[in-house]
Structure 1
Amino acid sequence: MPLAAPNYCPCGSTVAASQCCSRFIYQGQAASTALELMRSRYSGHVCGAIEYLWETWSESTRHRTSIAAIREWATSCEWLGLEILDWQGGGHSDSQGTVTFSATYRIGQQTHRHLEKSAFCRENGFWRYFDHCA
């Protein structure tokens, strides 16, 4: 389901989805920072863009999941919000970076908070989700 403008992007920015994460998810633009990729991956979960989530996962760690597992996780939740807590590296000239975030979601009547420090790396010139940091 495409993100509709002029609605604000699900990633929490105050920008229309068409000017934010939709350009990565649906228009094929490459994220230029790890933070952009993190935000777009959250929006991908919100709108069920499973192929995008798969394609932006590092090939070196993709074996730890499957398209089916990503689909199950993304669609089992009602995604309520993203809060970026910290980021290090992951800029235009970096090859690695981390983003610490909190994602709030609901399953049934129960609200949950997922706290994660994610690692990102450049792979063939593109930012990719590598793994969560211990």
Structure 2
Amino acid sequence: MRCYCCSSKPFNECCEPFIKGVKYPNTAEQLMRSRFSAYATAHYQYILETYTKEKQKDLSVEDLVQSAQGATWFALKVHPTLAANSKPNTAVVEFTAYYFENKSMYQLHETSNFNIEDGKWRYHDGVLHDDCGKIKYGRNLPCVCGSNKKFKQCCSLKNH
């Protein structure tokens, strides 16, 4: 099965080993992709554990479950990062995550900040872009997941 993060790799070779704790992400992008896959597969404990310690103290698994309730995460697009990051042990990743909620399609476009903490990448926070929210996407357009199929023949089928 293709990974939820749209990397074109199989899930068991891409994000699943991170979510199961068998491996740790080597880059902030790998962590961001695995966090998306964790949302798509409802592995909220992993999401909590991959926040920085500062952010973890104000969150719980229940908070994460509540915030994601009703959303079906189905596609991820990672944007190229042009600016070099000048701070050591930090990284910035910009992405757009797509999800269905109440039979409608939404996007979450964020520029995220990551830090290395105890030798592991952690998500700290992010800035949401103005284009977040409900979107209309043509059924005959290429699917947002990058499968080279039409949307109506691919991820649109996940909108139950």
Larger relative contact order (CA 8 Å, sep ≥ 6): 1
Does structure 2 retain, via aligned residues, the 8 Å contact 1:46–1:74? Answer: no
Match of 1:44 among 38, 45, 48: 38
Structure with greater proportional strand content: 1
CA contact (8 A) 1:84 1:100 kept: yes
Among 41, 54, 57, which residue is 2:48 paired with?
Answer: 54
Query: Structure 1: which 5+ runs fail to align?
Result: 1-6
Which residue is 1:83 aligned to?
77
1:45-86 Cα offsets, whole Å, 9 max, x none, are: 000001100100111122443321211233420112100013
SS at match of 2:78: strand
- What is the DSSP-based 3-state SS (H/G/I as helix, E as strand, rest coil) of the residue aligned with 1:13? coil
- In the alignment, the residues of structure 2 paired with residue 35 and residue 55 of structure 1 have an alpha-carbon distance, to the nearest angstrom, of 16
Q: Which amino acid aligns with 1:71?
A: V
| Residue number in structure 1 paired with 2:137 | none
SS of the aligned residue for 2:54 comes to: coil
TM-score w.r.t. structure 2 length?
A: 0.72
Question: Cα 1:53–1:89, aligned 2, differ >3 Å: closer, same or farther?
Answer: farther
Instruction: Return the TM-score normalized by structure 1.
Output: 0.85
Unaligned runs of 5+ in 2: 129-160
* The structure with more radius of gyration: 2
Could you tell me which residue of structure 1 aligns to residue 28 of structure 2?
34
